[in-house]
Structure 1
Amino acid sequence: MSHEFPAETRTPRETRAITLAHLSDPHLPPPPVRWQDALNKRALSLLSWKKHRRHVHLAATCAAIVGDIAKNDVDAILVSGDLTNFGTPGEFALAANWLKQLPAPAMIIPGNHDCMIRQPAERGILQWKTWSAASYPYARIHDGVAVVGVNSGVPTPPFMAYGRVGRRQLARLEALLTRLGEAGLCRVVMIHHPPKRGLVTWRKALHDYRAFARVLRQAGAEIVLHGHSHDATLTHIPGTDIPLLGVASASLTDKREHRQACWNHLSIHPQDNGWAINMARHRPNGRITEKASWVRPRNSRT
């Protein structure tokens, strides 16, 4: 697959900003789950869905998020995992159809729900290769902006939802970020689990977050996006000033504002020696609840 967005979205980078929509954890309503597919950890997740999650993760809320994104004419939509609830083949197919209908080209990574159990890749994440890759990390490049997708989803024991990038992927990530930085590109890194202690409980955490942060300190990045926590947060990669931007679930209904469904609108403006990155956090009705901005130098490591 090409490492660029469709040709019709390309324009000289000095004439316009690149705009990205970041959403996560849509937890799309699942098709019926076959009993053969639930003789494992999925049974617990299915029980949770029936008792609670289906009442707060609403398709109408996610549709409102997508509708608001459509009104903002973005260049691409970044989805940082958990499109499914149980990671069944039928859910992967349903999510692929959803991705086809989004109002802009999409790039995705899997989350812990998408990697709930071990199964042949053809039944799972390879159904999303059009919007992702056959292996990780991957990069998609457009007008000086490189979106780098990292896979932190791994099968875990019951009641656990932690993630891990792993040594081999970390080594490839460091080499990839270094090459992209040397080429003078703006590196937008996308991972499902938040790579920082304290944003989720231990059973949901990225267990090699220190190694991930060490790679970013060595190779550099301009901003990191994550999901998983279902919280709208803004922090930094440990030991750096690299912004770490979390987003609430795109389908979640919650009384607490930081957990209400939202999406992040990123606008990346090229400058002589780097980029100005602006962020606006949108609710489903288009209301903006938070703004932030950064000036990031080229090939930044801290």
Structure 2
Amino acid sequence: MSAPLIIAHLSDLHLGAHVPESVASIADEVAAFHPDLTIVTGDHTMRARPREFLEAAELLDKLPLPRLVVPGNHDVPLFSPLRVTAPYARYRRWIGDDTPVARLPGLTALGINSMPWWRWKSGRVTRAQTVTLRHVMGSASPHSVRVLALHHPPFAGGLARLVGRARLARAVHAARVDLVLAGHTHVPSVRRSRHGPLVVIAGTATSYRVRDIPRSWTMLRITRDAIEVHERFEGEPGTWHTGRVVRHPRHVG
């Protein structure tokens, strides 16, 4: 890897429960870092209404290309027959594929849909998805950065525990994933998983549904030896600054 790879990681936009100034500023804020890839890990809307999807699509179109985007639990209709009959139809119409792949020089990224219609809030990863993970990452070059993106934190415990967590952990290890990106909690965090990859959770980028932490997004700078995580926080509405910077050696356990 001759030059650092830059990934912009946003999550939990929640259009419909958003702050207009944050929405107006976020695209230029992200573009200033010239990311090689922009990843958005779900909850683009508040209640999966058509108007919200239209607003979300407009915002996503302003973010730098290429983009890799996955759905979250709020992107499935809540009180509607569509939750059963066509839970992802609106998402696919306005946002796109819910199992996207991005291949760039030195980087392979896969997004998976971790929100089944039959769960209220928490997620699930299927056996078929882990097979896809192994296949996609198996086709990556030996020195390529391998990135997995999903909405739900993959190794959370308790009530937030992911169905299929054990099979995902095995697949992540076998596929030599470097980096797992997720959202859902609205609280940014960085930690090394005991399964090997660095797990980075992004906060909410544009919603007023914060958890005692300002709105934020995450910029990742990846070199041959390390992954730097720069957490960008909003101060006054529409103004952003770097808060915490965390640097981890790049390796797979």
TM-score by length of 1: 0.72
Displacement of 1:276: 2.6
Displacement of 1:24: 0.1
Q: Which residue of 2 aligns with 1:95?
A: 56
Output the amino acid matched with 1:293: R
Distance in 2 (alpha carbons) for counterparts of 1:107 and 1:61:
21
Displacement of 1:126: 4.2
2:145 pairs with 1:207: no
Output the amino acid matched with 1:18: L
Displacement of 1:248: 1.0
Output the amino acid matched with 1:108: V
Displacement of 1:103: 4.0
Higher strand fraction (1 or 2) = 2
* Distance 1:295-1:235 versus aligned 2 partners, 3 A rule: closer
Alignment equivalent of 2:220, drawn from 263, 266, 278: 266
Q: Deviations over 1:135-167 (max 9, x none)?
A: 63x32111211121111011135xx20111111
Q: Which residue of 2 aligns with 1:59?
A: 20
2:187 pairs with 1:187: no
Measured on the aligned residues, the alpha-carbon RMSD in Å equals 2.3
Q: Which residue of 1 aligns with 2:95?
A: 128
Alignment equivalent of 2:106, drawn from 140, 144, 149: 144
Displacement of 1:214: 1.6
Q: Which residue of 1 aligns with 2:115?
A: 153
Q: Deviations over 1:1-38 (max 9, x none)?
A: xxxxxxxxxxxx52x32211101000012xxxxxxxxx
Gaps of 5+ in 1: 1-12, 30-53
Distance in 1 (alpha carbons) for counterparts of 2:115 and 2:93:
14
2:172 pairs with 1:216: yes
Distance in 1 (alpha carbons) for counterparts of 2:129 and 2:113:
8
Distance in 1 (alpha carbons) for counterparts of 2:222 and 2:22:
27
Task: Give the SS at the match of 1:100.
Answer: helix
Q: Which residue of 2 aligns with 1:83?
A: 44
Displacement of 1:122: 4.6
Q: Which residue of 1 aligns with 2:74?
A: 113
Higher helix fraction (1 or 2) = 1
Q: Deviations over 1:47-79 (max 9, x none)?
A: xxxxxxx4xx42322433333223222223210
Distance in 2 (alpha carbons) for counterparts of 1:255 and 1:224:
22
Q: Which residue of 1 aligns with 2:122?
A: 162
Kindly indicate whether the alpha-carbon contact (under 8 Å) linking 2:30 and 2:63 is maintained by their aligned counterparts in 1: no
Displacement of 1:240: 2.4
Q: Which residue of 2 aligns with 1:250?
A: 205
Output the amino acid matched with 1:233: S
Displacement of 1:207: 2.0
Task: Give the SS at the match of 1:278.
Answer: strand
Output the amino acid matched with 1:97: E
* Distance 1:217-1:75 versus aligned 2 partners, 3 A rule: closer
2:247 pairs with 1:280: no
* Distance 1:218-1:68 versus aligned 2 partners, 3 A rule: same
Output the amino acid matched with 1:152: S
Select the structure of larger CA radius of gyration.
Answer: 1
Q: Which residue of 2 aligns with 1:228?
A: 184
TM-score by length of 2: 0.85
Kindly indicate whether the alpha-carbon contact (under 8 Å) linking 1:28 and 1:59 is maintained by their aligned counterparts in 2: no
